[in-house]
């Protein structure tokens, strides 16, 4: 498990924790959500120097922390501390991508997105634009 002392997690780990947390929000990590996480890590520039062999361990660490009392608050704090301010909107965008991946966003995911948005202090107008862009990217005919 990640060391929960004062040392922040890496920005890569914070972004992965964000995506895993949203995927697990409804206690059903769908294939579409997992595929989206993998694709995001493979194609986005923010992950260009990330070791893909680390993904499984980071996801497992996140799941382990989420399983303890107050795990969600702990994860949100770890994400906030691990991210430079310039990556907070990126983290929120990734959370929205994962939530929209299976084209059904339930109440648990909506509440979690709100918590991420608030904890990371994402500007409401920026958040609305990010949410709309995620919906648009996942639209079907």
Q: How would residue 105 be classed by pLDDT, with cut points 50, 70 and 90?
A: confident
Among 30-34, 62-66, 113-117, the range scoring the smallest mean pLDDT is: 30-34
d(CA 119, CA 80): 7
Output DSSP code: residue 9.
P
Q: What pLDDT was estimated at residue 23? A: 87
Q: How far is CA 22 from CA 7, 34, 63, 107, 141, in A?
A: 23, 11, 11, 12, 26
Does 119 have pLDDT greater than 90?
yes
Domains in the chain (CATH in brackets) are 11-137 (1.10.3680.10)
The chain-wide mean pLDDT, for the chain, equals 89
Q: What is the spatial distance between Cα 53 and Cα 141, in angstroms, rounded to a whole number?
A: 36
The pTM of this model reads 0.89
Q: Look at residue 3 and tell me whether its pLDDT is greater than 60.
A: no
Residue 124 is predicted with a pLDDT of 96
Segment 110-123 mean pLDDT: 95
List pLDDT tens digits, range 43-100.
Answer: 999 999 999 889 889 999 998 999 999 999 999 999 999 999 999 999 999 999 988 8
Helix (H, G, I), strand (E, B) or coil at 44: coil
Q: How far does Cα 118 stand from its chain's mean position?
A: 14
């Amino acid at each position: 498990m990640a060391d929960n002392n004062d040392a922040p997690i890496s920005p890569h780990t914070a972004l992965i924790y964000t995506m895993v947390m949203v995927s697990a929000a409804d206690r059903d990590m769908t294939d579409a959500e997992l595929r989206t996480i993998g694709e995001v890590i493979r194609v986005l520039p923010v992950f260009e120097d990330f070791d893909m062999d680390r993904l499984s361990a980071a996801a497992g660490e996140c799941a382990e922390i989420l399983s303890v009392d107050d795990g969600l608050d702990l994860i949100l704090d770890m994400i906030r501390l691990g991210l430079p301010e310039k990556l907070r909107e990126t983290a929120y965008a990734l959370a929205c991508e994962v939530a929209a991946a299976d084209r059904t966003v339930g109440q648990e995911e909506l509440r979690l997105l709100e918590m991420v948005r608030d904890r990371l202090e994402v500007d409401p107008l920026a958040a609305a634009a990010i949410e709309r862009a995620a919906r648009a990217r996942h639209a079907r005919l």
